[in-house]
A and B are shown apart, each in its own frame.
Chain A
C-alpha cells in the first residue's frame, strides 16, 4: 500500500475507532513511517540499524544475496510488509523442505501472526499501534506474495489481465521504466525485470506485479508462480475495504474497547453513513488517493490533517541524549519496530526455517 492508505486512511480509521485527532495523527504517522525507516535514515539519525522497517531500492541493489544478506532482507520485509499467513502451511504435492519453507512465507490476511502482531501492540504506545496497522493493511494488499526474494514464489508471467469497471478483461503490458508513471488508461504498468536467479532482488515481494497491489481501484487476474496454474483474482477494492474495517476493529481493541482481538472480524457498523463515500475513494481510478482520503478524514474531525512530513520528529530524536531518546516519538517507534521484527523472526525460526535468521528467544 501507499501513503494514501497508510497515512490518510489509517488516520480516518483511527478517528472512526474513537481516537482523538492528535492520537490519530500519531498512529497514522507511525503507520506511514514504516515505509520510510531505512538503514540510510537510521544512520543519519544515529539510531539502531536493527530498527529498519524497510529498504530503499539503492540499499536492495547494494545488498548481497548470500545467506546473511537474504536473512536481513527477509527479516525486514516479512515482518512489516508481507506478514506470513500460515507458518504451518502444507502443499498437497510433495516438495522439498527448501521450497516448503519459502512457501510458508506467503503473505495473507487473518493469519495467526496477525493476531500476535496486534496483541504485541496492545497496552503499548501509539507508535506500536501504527506499526501494527501498517502490517495489518499490507496483509490485504500484498497477499499471495512473499517477503523474501524468490523466483518460484513471486514470479509472474504474461497471463496478467486487468478487470475493467465494465467487467471486461484487458491484457496488462508491463515495462521496466522507473521514470515513467503507470498508464491507467492503457493498462501499461512498470514491474521489475525478469531475473533468472532464485534469490535475485527483482524477485522480492510483489515487484514482478509492479505497483498493482498498491492501487486500491485495481482488479486483476493472474497466475501466481506457486499456484499450479490456478488463476487468482485480486479484487483490491474489496480487500482494501476489508483492510479498512479490520483496522477500525483492531484500533478499538488497542484502545481497550474490548478484551480480545479475533481475526476475520470487520467493523462495518462504524462506517454506516460513510460506506458509499469510502468505496468511491477506493474504486476511483487514480494513482494516488491521498487527496480524497485526506478530505474524508478532515470532514470527520472538522479540522485539517497535517501533511506527512518525514522530518517532523527527527530533530527531537537527534537532540535527545542517552535514555531520553527512548521517550521521543521516534524512540517509541523504533522500540515497536524492534519488537515486531523480533516476534516475526522468532516465529519463522521456530517453524523450522532459517530464512529470517536465528532467534535466541524461546
Chain B
C-alpha cells in the first residue's frame, strides 16, 4: 500500500493505471483463493457452495477491473473510491462489533474506518481536479499502510510446551 501511494504521488497522471492493475490482480487472486477454498474445505460444509459463488463473483470483479485501465481517470478514481469507501464501512462495522465486545483496540479500527470514508468523500469533492483527488487518495494509502504496519507489531508469542 505504501509503494502504491508513492507511485501515485510520483506520477499522478499514469501511476493509477498500475494501481488499478494491482488492485484487479488482488481481486483475481482473492477470487481464485475462494474457489480453491471451496474445493479443499468448503465443499464438505453445509452451505459451502456459497464460497464458490462468492469466489466466481470476486474473480469476475477482478477481471472486469483489469479492463478498466484505459478509461478516463475520473471513472477509475470513482471505482477505486467506491471500493475504498466500502472497505471503510466494513472496518466501521468491525469497530462497532469490537466496541460491543469491549476490545481495547476498537479505536484503531474505528479510526481506520472513519478515515477511509472521509477519504472517499474528500476525493469526491475534488473529483473535477483529478490531480488533487489523486494526491488525497495516495495520502490515504500511505496513512492506511502505516496503520496496518503499526497493528502488525502487536505482541504474539511462540510457545513450546513441554
Interchain CB contact under 8 A, B46 and A224: yes
* In the complex with contacts A58-B101, A152-B44, A155-B46, A64-B154 CB distance below 8 A: yes
* In the complex with contacts A225-B46, A341-B161, A345-B161, A193-B41 CB distance below 8 A: no
Q: Mark B132-162, 1 if CB is under 8 A from A, else 0.
A: 0000000000000000000000101111111
Interchain CB contact under 8 A, A152 and B48: yes
Interchain CB contact under 8 A, B44 and A50: no
- Whole-angstrom distance between the alpha carbons of A193 and B41 in the complex? 20
**Interface residue tally of chain A, by bracket?**
35 or more
Interchain CB contact under 8 A, B46 and A157: yes
In chain B between 25 and 65, which residues have their CB closer than 8 angstroms to a CB of chain A? 37, 40-42, 44-48, 51, 54
B98 contacts the other chain (CB 8 A): yes
Q: Can you pick out 22 interface pairs between chain A and chain B where the beta carbons lie within 8 Å of each other?
A: A49-B157, A58-B102, A58-B103, A61-B103, A62-B104, A69-B156, A152-B44, A152-B45, A152-B48, A157-B47, A178-B100, A178-B101, A198-B37, A224-B46, A228-B44, A341-B161, A342-B162, A357-B161, A358-B160, A359-B160, A360-B162, A361-B161
Q: Mark A222-235, 1 if CB is under 8 A from B, else 0.
A: 01111111000000
Q: Mark A274-303, 1 if CB is under 8 A from B, else 0.
A: 000000000000000000000000000000
- Whole-angstrom distance between the alpha carbons of A342 and B104 in the complex? 30
Question: Given B41, B54, B101, B158, which contacts A152 in the complex, CB threshold below 8 Å?
Answer: B41
**Interface residue tally of chain B, by bracket?**
20 to 34
- For the A-B complex with A75-B161, A152-B41, A338-B161 known, give 15 more contacts whose Cβ atoms are closer than 8 Å: A49-B157, A50-B161, A57-B101, A57-B103, A60-B101, A68-B156, A72-B159, A151-B45, A152-B44, A155-B46, A157-B47, A225-B45, A229-B46, A360-B161, A361-B162
Interchain CB contact under 8 A, A155 and B47: yes
List the A side residues contacting B45 at CB < 8 Å: 151-152, 155, 225-226
Q: How far is the CB of A38 from chain B (nearest CB, A)?
A: 13
List the B side residues contacting A69 at CB < 8 Å: 156
- Whole-angstrom distance between the alpha carbons of A239 and B61 in the complex? 48
In chain A between 218 and 273, which residues have their CB closer than 8 angstroms to a CB of chain B? 223-229
List the A side residues contacting B161 at CB < 8 Å: 50, 75, 338, 341-342, 345-346, 357, 359-361
Q: How far is the CB of A90 from chain B (nearest CB, A)?
A: 13
B97 contacts the other chain (CB 8 A): yes
A93 contacts the other chain (CB 8 A): yes
List the A side residues contacting B40 at CB < 8 Å: 96, 98-99
Measured CB to CB, the nearest residue on chain A to B93 is A193
List the A side residues contacting B48 at CB < 8 Å: 152
- Whole-angstrom distance between the alpha carbons of A357 and B44 in the complex? 25
List the B side residues contacting A358 at CB < 8 Å: 160
List the A side residues contacting B102 at CB < 8 Å: 57-58
List the A side residues contacting B37 at CB < 8 Å: 198
- Whole-angstrom distance between the alpha carbons of A99 and B41 in the complex? 6
In chain A between 182 and 201, which residues have their CB closer than 8 angstroms to a CB of chain B? 193, 196, 198
List the A side residues contacting B106 at CB < 8 Å: 61
Q: How far is the CB of A159 from chain B (nearest CB, A)?
A: 8
List the A side residues contacting B159 at CB < 8 Å: 50, 72, 75, 357
Q: How far is the CB of A269 from chain B (nearest CB, A)?
A: 39
- Whole-angstrom distance between the alpha carbons of A69 and B157 in the complex? 8
Q: How far is the CB of A54 from chain B (nearest CB, A)?
A: 15
Measured CB to CB, the nearest residue on chain B to A346 is B161
Measured CB to CB, the nearest residue on chain B to A193 is B97
The 5 A-B pairs with the shortest beta carbon distances in the complex, nearest first, are A61-B103, A152-B45, A342-B161, A57-B101, A96-B40
- Whole-angstrom distance between the alpha carbons of A61 and B109 in the complex? 11
- Whole-angstrom distance between the alpha carbons of A61 and B41 in the complex? 24
* In the complex with contacts A61-B105, A62-B105, A227-B46 CB distance below 8 A: yes
- Whole-angstrom distance between the alpha carbons of A155 and B45 in the complex? 8
- Whole-angstrom distance between the alpha carbons of A59 and B125 in the complex? 40
- Whole-angstrom distance between the alpha carbons of A49 and B161 in the complex? 12
Q: How far is the CB of B4 from chain A (nearest CB, A)?
A: 23
A95 contacts the other chain (CB 8 A): yes
Q: How far is the CB of A261 from chain B (nearest CB, A)?
A: 24
A315 contacts the other chain (CB 8 A): no
A66 contacts the other chain (CB 8 A): yes
List the B side residues contacting A338 at CB < 8 Å: 161
List the B side residues contacting A360 at CB < 8 Å: 160-162
Interchain CB contact under 8 A, A226 and B103: no
List the A side residues contacting B44 at CB < 8 Å: 91, 93, 95, 99, 152, 226, 228
In chain B between 71 and 111, which residues have their CB closer than 8 angstroms to a CB of chain A? 97-98, 100-106
